[in-house]
Amino acid sequence: MAQVREFRLPDLGEGLTEAEIVRWMVAVGDVVEVDQPVVEVETAKAMVEVPCPWAGVVTARFGEEGGELPVGAPLLTVAVGGPADGGGPSAPGAGGADGAAATRPGGAPGPGGEPGSGAVDREPGAGAGAKRRAEGSGNVLVGYGTSAAPARRRRVRPVAAAPAPAAPAPAPAGVRAPGAGPGRTDGPDGDAAPVADGPVPVISPLVRRLARQSGLDLRELSGSGPDGLILRADVEYALRAAAHRPVAAVAPAPAPAPVPAGADGRAVPDGVRVPLRGVRGAVADKLSRSRREIPDATCWVDADATELMRARTAMNAADGPRISLVALLARICVAALARFPELNSTVDTGAREVVRFDRVHLGFAAQTDRGLVVPVVRDAHTRDAEGLTAEFARLTGAARDGRLSPADLTGGTFTLNNYGVFGVDGSTPIINHPEAAMLGVGRVIPKPWVHEGELAVRQVVQLSLTFDHRVCDGGTAGGFLRYVADCVEQPAVLLRTL
């Protein structure tokens, strides 16, 4: 008899808490092999193909293409070891391709289902008494491994009773049983059980903020994640349950037509709403955090890049690979960071320390169809101009194709932003949190310039440096930027540091 295994969205690393389903690679009824990719998801970092750790027949899929799932939410169920119970592709508690309701975290419905109260969250197939004897995958995923996982305990969520007609409208959290005192909540058997003091285990700060903004007490929830971890689906289910709970009977007054409102309750004009998720959402979160946490300052200078452009032309006239301008600028940045290591650092706010790095992992901004990403060139200080050119080309191509891994997008210590490719002269960069500085480079264009005491037309570029004022003062930042400008104006200066 087949054992139905539930495959949940694994932890994809780098602190990622959710992913968007881009493309299903299997359908209900398909046969899958061990480690076969079953779904392509987009995280805030990259596009990832998720492999299934078991071989068998797909009995259900959870989530539609374009929808988001939190880490730990069910992706699909697989019948392992033989035909599924009942001879069909469906398993107890699992929805088929026709959109039947399926058990999900926090009692949330499957595709096409309605929110339910008192739903039993259990492993599909557990009602048949199936034991977990199937072999696991050798590809270790978080929550899955080479051995069978222990069976989850059965969890029942009781139905929250409606308040008395004379009582005020209940708070949004409504999963505490009536009469339960402070610090108590319903246990698995419906009895009141004490709630431990201290922070409630939540999968991410975003879920904690969602609960706080909605007036939801996390202590009243029973998390469906590992060891009672509260997932986003648990919070959303509690809010939906509260919205469907009946309130005291009051004769309703005629209500005006609904007006769209923003998060702060103010009316907003009609228009198209674009969700901030995936890469766009990650960029929004990181830039907001940078502005919120980093006391930044910006200085800038115009530099005569005529000699640098001539040097690049001479290098490319010789036999060998062509050298890009951004690679030359990267070499200059690396040399400047060796002289001013304060800017190759980060601030550890918990320890109140500035951490200076002894290696330069250089990030660079790359615009793609999916949004702005910042790939990282590892150990940029060990590469020459030719090696930097090749690595920039490789990472840029992978970024545009959506093939960057999370490791390619994290771990940077300093960022170079060449916004001159957009035809603009200058900008004030926002620091790529948690780094301490970013160098911005505008376009190189002919401008009137005083050269050797005479007015001449020269190739001029604007350089701007945004830095974290906690790691250094203006003298250090100005010295860094002045050294970069000197190398741009006289590339021979760079030879002294090589």
Same domain, yes or no: 58 and 128:
yes
Domain hosting 223: range is 158-246
| The predicted structure's pLDDT at residue 244 | 61
Same domain, yes or no: 45 and 93:
yes
Residue 269 lies in a domain: no
pTM recorded for the entire structure: 0.54
Same domain, yes or no: 152 and 164:
no
Sequence-ordered list of residues with C-beta below 8 angstroms from that of 482, at least 6 positions apart, any chain? 301
Same domain, yes or no: 237 and 347:
no
Q: Where do runs of H (alpha helix) occur along 226-350?
A: 232-244, 278-293, 306-317, 325-339
Same domain, yes or no: 151 and 191:
no
Residue 255 lies in a domain: no
Same domain, yes or no: 481 and 449:
yes
Whether the upstream peptide bond of residue 434 has omega within 30° of 0, thus cis, is yes
Which two structure tokens, joined as six digits, stand for 288?
């907001």
Q: Give the residue from 137, 156, 175 where a domain finishes.
A: 156
- Taken as a whole, the chain contains a residue count of 498
Same domain, yes or no: 341 and 396:
yes
Sequence-ordered list of residues with C-beta below 8 angstroms from that of 418, at least 6 positions apart, any chain? 325, 326, 329, 364, 365, 440, 441
Same domain, yes or no: 354 and 325:
yes
Q: What is the CATH number of the domain that holds 169?
A: 4.10.320.10
| The predicted structure's pLDDT at residue 487 | 96
Residue 258 lies in a domain: no
Residue 273 lies in a domain: no
Same domain, yes or no: 304 and 442:
yes
| The predicted structure's pLDDT at residue 133 | 38
Residue 261 lies in a domain: no
Q: What is the CATH number of the domain that holds 405?
A: 3.30.559.10
Neighbours of 65 (CB within 10 A): 11
Which two structure tokens, joined as six digits, stand for 104?
């999900």
Domains held by the chain: number: 3
Q: Give the residue from 194, 223, 246 where a domain finishes.
A: 246
What is the Cα–Cα distance from 279 to 8, expressed in whole angstroms?
A: 22
Q: Is-contact 13 19, C-beta < 8 A? A: no
Same domain, yes or no: 220 and 105:
no
Spans in the chain with pLDDT lower than 50: 84-140, 142-196, 247-251
| The predicted structure's pLDDT at residue 241 | 76
Q: Give the residue from 133, 156, 179 where a domain finishes.
A: 156
Same domain, yes or no: 336 and 412:
yes
Amino acid at 481: L
| The predicted structure's pLDDT at residue 148 | 42
Percent of the chain with pLDDT over 90: 38
| The predicted structure's pLDDT at residue 67 | 84
Residue 256 lies in a domain: no
Residue 260 lies in a domain: no
Same domain, yes or no: 476 and 387:
yes
Q: Which residues are catalytic?
A: 469
Amino acid at 389: T
Residue 240 lies in a domain: yes
Please, how many CA atoms are within 13 Å of residue 195, restricted to the half-sphere of its CB?
A: 20
Q: What is the CATH number of the domain that holds 68?
A: 2.40.50.100
